[in-house]
Amino acid sequence: MPWPMVHFAIAAQLTACKPSPHFLVGSIAPDALHVREKVTRQDKGFTHLVAEDRFPSIELLQESCLAFLQRNQAWNWQQFVLGYMAHIYADLRWTETIYAEFERDCQGSHQEKRNIYNKEVSQIEFILLHGKEWGREVVHSLQQAEAFPMEPFVTQAEVSRYRDLKIGWLQDDSNEPRIKPIYFTKEAVDAFIVQTSEEMNVLAKAWGIDYLLSPVGQDSPTTS
């Protein structure tokens, strides 16, 4: 699955490079379960609306998104929900496109592929962090974000802790492998970000929630 900076890049693409802090923290919230001591494949599937090893249909994603939005009309909550559902859609499309190509083209054992994947997507994190004008700003913005619980999937404490762990990881330059990706190239990942953002924009309009994509400071409330 894509790592945080790819999710942040999609958030930036959707909001004219001005995603709200709560959109950002929501866009990594489904992975907050990783702060638990023991995480199973089923646990991860549960937070991502996966059933029988299959990502949710677009219809189920829409139904879930609208149901969670209706729980609270506060802007910050709705931004968080938008980010959460955007994460799931991005994971779905990553699996179907760029990751499927990696599985097809990369030779080696499961562990060798895993090592290659982790190194390349780690590098992409730093390419996006240092190479995009919004890179450092989203990390700063993320620090300001209030975490919400997304019941029954993840708790507020889990989301908050995971956010802090990801910020710390991105701020540690020793985590950059300093390699040139072969499978997850900057060009391929940039294309994925643009295409996925375009698809999400279409979905947001179809679901009647495109008003949530207003850039921060442009016709969008700033209070919770």
Confirm whether 223 is domain-assigned.
no
pLDDT of residue 223 exceeding 60: no
Confirm whether 182 is domain-assigned.
yes
Q: What is the pLDDT of residues 76-127, one digit of tens each?
A: 999 999 999 999 999 999 999 999 999 999 999 999 999 999 999 999 999 9
Could you tell me how far CA 142 lies from the centroid of its own chain?
Answer: 13
Confirm whether 218 is domain-assigned.
no
Nearest residue to 36 (alpha-carbon basis) of 117, 153, 144: 153
Confirm whether 212 is domain-assigned.
no
Confirm whether 106 is domain-assigned.
yes
The values of phi and psi at residue 154, to 5°, are: -140, 150
Confirm whether 215 is domain-assigned.
no
Give the DSSP letter of residue 213: G
Sign, Cα dihedral of 20, 22, 23, 29: positive
| The pLDDT value given to residue 105 | 97
Confirm whether 221 is domain-assigned.
no
Residue type, 187: E
Instruction: Spell 85-114 as b/e; 16+ CB within 10 A means b.
Output: bbbbbbbbbbeeebbeebeeeeeeeeeeee
Total number of domains constituting the chain: 1
Give the DSSP letter of residue 219: S
Model's pTM, two decimal places?
0.94
Q: Which long-range contacts (CB under 8 A, 24 or more apart) does 172-176 make?
A: 173/126, 175/122, 175/125, 175/126, 176/122, 176/123, 176/125, 176/126
| Domain carrying residue 104 | 4-207
| The pLDDT value given to residue 50 | 96
Confirm whether 214 is domain-assigned.
no
Q: What is the pLDDT of residues 25-72, one digit of tens each?
A: 999 999 999 999 999 999 999 999 999 889 999 999 999 999 999 999
Q: What is the pLDDT of residues 78-92, one digit of tens each?
A: 999 999 999 999 999
